[in-house]
Amino acid sequence: MLIEPKSELGRAVSMTDWAGKIAFIQIAPAASEMLVSVQKVRAVPGQGLEGDRYFKKVGTYSNVPGGGRQITLIELESVEALKRDFRIQLDPTQTRRNVVTRGVPLNHLVGRKFRLGDEVMLEGVRLCEPCEHLEKLSLKGVKEGLLHRGGLRADIVSGGIIRVGDPITPE
């Protein structure tokens, strides 16, 4: 059974009745290195974001089988909830996710296609649950605090340039 996301008033909204935006874009040149915020980046189908560790096949989990390592996303609302609920203040770059969104129900996008800007289409592959590696590179308590709200792993279906501020819309 698919559970529809709730609006601010608590009513279910359709999976096509939302629109968000890209708040931050970030890449890391190698495994375990700090992410760097960028204003724009090229998304390449089958590879990832140009300049990122997984694009270069040098990420911590690059040799682990499975999809969903081309691009990762997290809701800015989850980072804000981490501060509110657990008193853990995390900079968006500490999330280890490539794209930080605003107004996007990421948990509901597994198996669904959606657009970043005008050019790029993604398909949600699986949730990006927090792990020990994330907590080791950030702050104690992050793994528990981001449980079930750690973001989404996605594959790039069609590529192009994405920019901070670009809209994110359902397909």
pLDDT digits (tens, 9 = 90+) for 109-142: 999 999 999 999 999 999 877 766 666 656 576 7
Residue 163 belongs to some domain of the structure: yes
- Residue 110: is it exposed, middle or buried by C-beta count within 10 angstroms (0-12/13-18/19+)? middle
Please check the confidence at residue 167 and state whether its pLDDT lies above 80: yes
CA 164 to chain centroid, in Å, comes to 13
Give the gyration radius of the chain's Cα atoms.
15
pTM comes to: 0.83
Residue 28 belongs to some domain of the structure: yes
Write down the mean pLDDT value for the chain.
Answer: 84
Residue 4 vs residue 38, higher pLDDT = 38
Residue 142 belongs to some domain of the structure: yes
* Tens digit of each residue's pLDDT (9 = 90 or more) over 21-70: 999 999 998 887 888 999 999 999 999 999 998 899 888 767 777 778 89
Highest-pLDDT range among 1-5, 15-19, 91-95, 99-103 = 99-103
Highest-pLDDT range among 5-9, 64-68, 162-166 = 162-166
Residue 10 belongs to some domain of the structure: no
Mean pLDDT of 134-153: 72
Q: What pLDDT score was predicted for residue 3?
A: 45
Q: What pLDDT score was predicted for residue 1?
A: 40
Residue 115 belongs to some domain of the structure: yes
Q: Alpha-carbon dihedral of residues 102, 107, 108, 110, nearest 10 degrees? A: 120
- What is the number of structural domains in the chain? 1
Host domain of residue 45: 20-170
Residue 124 belongs to some domain of the structure: yes
Which tokens in the block code for residue 41? 């980046």
Sheet of strand 160-163, all strands in order from the earlier edge strand to the far edge = 48-49, 40-44, 160-163
Task: Report the CATH number that the domain containing residue 96 is assigned in CATH.
Answer: 2.40.33.20
Residue 2 belongs to some domain of the structure: no
Residue 91 belongs to some domain of the structure: yes
Sorting pLDDT into bands at 50, 70 and 90, what band is 84?
confident
Q: What pLDDT score was predicted for residue 139?
A: 59
